[in-house]
């Protein structure tokens, strides 16, 4: 995010699972071994789409359906855990769409005492939603998440409807919401840039 240039160092993680062509929303493989993490680097250019987990055997994902199992979720959590161990601690987490749902789950696991996921100082969730089909992890997301959060979502988002993002925001007692008139993307116009910087300024050392 250009708005953060000079204010923050970003480490970008891609989901461990490549998404097959035509699969639609990200998700995927399940039991494919996760390769070693690359050295930290700036956000990569466009590459093959990748996802954090799948909700069906057909290698697809829908945020609005209740899956029988989140296939590949443990590999996704392992990827984040190794990044936190190798390059942490991190001041904050930023996630978009399925990545926002994963970031919320990581924070919930950290708050519940999972040593793999030390709590960050804040989280920014763009087009996020409450993940479904978590099995034994489901109750973890029912407890309020006590860390500052900024929730960004579009009024015309057809992939993750705004009510889904609002439901996720309701899990954070200190939530700040930022809406925009667009759809499923990270907004970067002047009003949003100002809101990002205002939110982040409270954590400046």
Look up the CATH number of the domain holding residue 120.
3.40.50.1820
**How many whole angstroms separate alpha carbon 128 and alpha carbon 141?**
13
Task: Please provide the average confidence, as pLDDT, over all residues in the chain.
Answer: 83
What pTM does this model have? 0.83
Q: What are phi and psi of 122, to 5 degrees?
A: -160, 170
Structural domain count, the chain: 1
| Domain that residue 30 falls in | 2-201
- Beta-ladder partners of 166: none
| Catalytic residue (choose from 17, 55, 97, 165) | 97
Instruction: Name the band, by pLDDT with cuts 50, 70 and 90, for residue 31.
Output: very low
Given a cut of 80, is residue 85 above it in pLDDT? yes
State the distance between the two ends of the chain, measured CA to CA, in whole angstroms.
Answer: 20
* 157 assigned to active site: yes
Which is higher by pLDDT, 45 or 74? 74
Which among 55, 149, 157, 180 is annotated as catalytic? 157
pLDDT for the residue numbered 159: 94
| Lowest pLDDT segment from 17-21, 33-37, 104-108 | 33-37
Nearest to 168 by CA among 196, 139, 201, 144: 144
């Amino acid at each position: 995010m250009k708005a953060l240039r000079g204010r923050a160092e970003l480490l970008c993680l891609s989901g461990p699972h490549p998404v097959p062509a035509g699969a639609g929303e990200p998700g995927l493989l399940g039991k494919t071994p996760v390769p070693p993490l690359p050295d930290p680097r700036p956000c990569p250019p466009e590459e093959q789409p990748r996802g954090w987990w799948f909700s069906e055997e057909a290698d697809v994902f829908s945020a609005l359906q209740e899956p029988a199992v989140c296939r590949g979720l443990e590999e996704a959590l392992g990827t984040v855990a190794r990044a936190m161990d190798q390059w942490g601690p991190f001041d904050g987490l930023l996630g978009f769409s399925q990545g926002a749902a994963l970031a919320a789950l990581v924070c919930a696991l950290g708050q519940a005492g999972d040593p793999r996921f030390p709590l960050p100082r804040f989280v920014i969730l763009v087009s996020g939603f409450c993940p479904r089909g978590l099995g034994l992890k489901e109750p973890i997301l029912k407890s309020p998440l006590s860390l500052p959060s900024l929730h960004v979502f579009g009024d015309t988002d057809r992939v993750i409807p705004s009510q889904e993002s609002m439901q996720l925001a309701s899990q954070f007692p200190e939530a700040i919401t930022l809406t925009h008139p667009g759809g499923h993307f990270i907004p970067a116009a002047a009003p949003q840039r100002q809101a990002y910087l205002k939110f982040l300024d409270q954590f400046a050392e």
